[in-house]
Amino acid sequence: MYKFWCVFIPRFFLLYFIVAIAIGYYFYPGGNHLDSSQVGYDFTRNFLSELGFYKTLSNETNFISSFFFNTAMFFNILVGIGFLFMPHLFNESKYAYIFAWVGAILMFFSCLFFALVGLSPGDIFFKAHIFFVQVAFNLVFLAYLFICLAFYFSQISKKYMIGSIILFIISIIYAFHIGDQPVIDAIEQKELFQSTFTMKDLMLNAINQKLVIISMNISLLMFTYGFDNFIKRRGL
């Protein structure tokens, strides 16, 4: 049970997420926030959320790409449920157990909001999409912090925290970078968006977003190895 929810489910999610992004990338028709004539998906010019758009910024039908991206986001619910089983692994130490519970609850809600990102494509539910993205990211950083503390106070190797430490460094840089940037709907306020952002800004944001996502996923993967170690050690 613990192995299924704390190890198998997050790893299945990561695998599905990578495959879904690859399929979404392949089928994405084209367009980005500043250039609607772009052909296909460009990792340096498109945000991941664009894979989930109902219609692309080139105004084309985006069914296959959005289906795989949005289902991958929706599967975050499973990861969130899985994390509710995690605190039991840390019950050897009082502090680790408390931090694990705080981390698990934050992670559950974060995953719920990530799932809602998949249910609110940015082109048709812009405000809801931005709200869910912001809350999800804020919660996940806090959750990872508490899970790191749980690992720190547990009797297990601290190496499983490496992924999270990388994530925190990248996230802080990213937060400083986007902190003073305005939130503009690239579809409804197209002209304002194009006069506010240059292609260089767009590329920097798109690349940074992907770095944060990659480090989040590495961090999640490393946690699963930590959980697996606990489960084996304690024969759960």
Partner 1 sequence: MYNFFTVTILRFVPIYFVISCLVAAYFYPGGNLLDPQQVGYSFNHNFLSDLGGYTSRSGEINFLSQFFFNLSMFLFVAVGIGFLFVPMLFKDNKINFYSAIIGSFFFFIGTVFFAGVGLTPHDLYRSEHIFFAINAFRILMPAGLIYVFVFFRSSVPNFYAYLTLAFFIFTTSYVLYQLFGGSPFDSIDALKQHVTIQKFIAFASTINIFVLSFGFKTRIKYLSIA
Residue number with CB closer to partner 1 (66 or 164): 66
Closest CA to 116 of 87, 75, 156, 85: 75
Report the nearest approach of partner 1 to the CB of residue 44 (Å): 28
Compute the distance between CA of residue 147 and CA of residue 153 in angstroms, rounded to an integer: 10
**What is the C-alpha separation between 221 and 148, in angstroms, rounded?**
13
CB 183 to partner 1: min, Å: 22
The nearer residue to partner 1, 10 or 103, going by C-beta atoms, is 10
- For partner 1, the closer CB: 121 or 163: 121
Q: Which residues bind partner 1 (CB under 8 A)?
A: 4, 54, 61, 63-64, 67, 70-71, 74, 118-119, 121, 124
* Cβ-based nearer residue to partner 1, 61 or 134: 61
| Per-residue b or e along 58-89, where b marks 16 or more CB atoms closer than 10 Å to that residue's CB | beeebeebbbbbbebbebbbbbbebbebbbbb
Shortest distance in whole angstroms from residue 27 CB to partner 1: 11
Residues 32 and 38: beta-carbon distance below 8 Å: yes
Task: Quote the least distance from Cβ 54 to partner 1, whole Å.
Answer: 5
**Beta partners for 105?**
none
Q: Is 195 exposed, middle or buried (0-12, 13-18, 19+ CB in 10 A)?
A: exposed
Instruction: Give min distance, CB of 64 to partner 1, in A.
Output: 7
Is the Cβ of residue 81 or residue 165 nearer to partner 1 in the bound state? 81
